[in-house]
Amino acid sequence: MSSDTNAAPAAANKMNENSALAPEPAAASKAALDVALEENQVSAPNSDNNDESQTRTVFQDPVHFNVKHPLYNEWTMWFDNPSHKGSWSAKERRETWGANLHKVVNIKSVEEFWGLYNNIVPPSTLPQSANYYLFKDGIQPAWEDPANGNGGKWSIQLPREKHRNQIDKLWLYTMLSAIGEMLEAPSSDSKLPQSREDELVTGVVLQARSNYYRVSIWTRYADEWDSPNSQEKEVTESLATGRRLLALGRFFKTEVLGYPLDAKIGGGFSSEVEFQSHKDSEKKRGKRGLV
């Protein structure tokens, strides 16, 4: 499998000073193809027809492509059905959460991802309380899953009306960064983990609410971090993981969402890009910022 991330572009072109998104997700699309594919597994079907014998990727022909590019990891899309939630109490929502969760499809290739993306409701038109979850295969989008139990999430909250025209691309960039493994190796000197236990990211989440959208990256661990410029002689395993978390958060803010690292974006229904362990989230405490 390829672990070369040096040539991969960022998942999103940076916003300009007015926070306008890049018009097309071409760079993000190419990144998912460049980074997340297994080498030497691209082959066109055998055919006596000259046209059919030519290799056509989904980027060359989105309808009649004849080759698939396997992803580094398999992923599963889930959807939380919001039916009747509006009349339920908070306790009832918690107790019936699993019953509303629907597994949509498994994704093994770049082509399968685009087939899914082009045929589901975009986030901008989701009803209140609906959620999308894209998680690595075998991991459920729940705190109770062993892969998430000791983890946390990087997240940002954005006002619904102000970002209705941007949220679709922000969610697309987040998903592409996930399946393209750029979240696992956000810097030029990063290497992809060699085992599932070493992988930091478990999934990404989009939540639609009446007044805001929230985009999150869920992680397997929630270790503390110090300054990345610290001169400590001994870097413990926990501290090393914490620094990976910090690098992930910075990549999320600057390369996926497109904000300058020092930009202040909180206020009203907006939040800063913040990290919170699932255990602290359950107790509604303990958020950590980037700077």
Could you tell me the two tokens for 142? 């729940």
Q: Evaluate if residue 204 carries a pLDDT over 60.
A: yes
Q: Evaluate if residue 38 carries a pLDDT over 60.
A: no
Q: In the prediction, which pLDDT does 195 show? A: 80
Q: In the prediction, which pLDDT does 69 show? A: 84
* Residue of higher predicted confidence among 63 and 200: 200
Q: Of 11-15, 219-223, 237-241, which gets the smallest average pLDDT?
A: 11-15
Q: In the prediction, which pLDDT does 231 show? A: 53
Q: Evaluate if residue 288 carries a pLDDT over 60.
A: yes
* pLDDT tens track for 207-233: 999 999 999 999 999 987 765 555 554
The whole-angstrom separation of Cα 136 and Cα 80 is: 17
The whole-angstrom separation of Cα 196 and Cα 194 is: 7
Q: Calculate mean pLDDT across residues 262-279.
A: 86
* pLDDT tens track for 69-123: 889 999 999 999 765 555 556 566 556 566 788 999 999 998 899 889 988 999 9
The whole-angstrom separation of Cα 128 and Cα 82 is: 7
- Band (pLDDT 50/70/90 cuts) for residue 52 is low
Q: Calculate mean pLDDT across residues 42-51.
A: 43
Q: Calculate mean pLDDT across residues 241-247.
A: 90
- Residue burial 246-280, b: 16+ Cβ < 10 Å; e: rest: bbbbbbbbbbbbbbeeebebeeebebbbbbbbbee
Q: Is 130 exposed, middle or buried (0-12, 13-18, 19+ CB in 10 A)?
A: buried
* Residue of higher predicted confidence among 2 and 216: 216
0.85 cut: is pTM over it? no
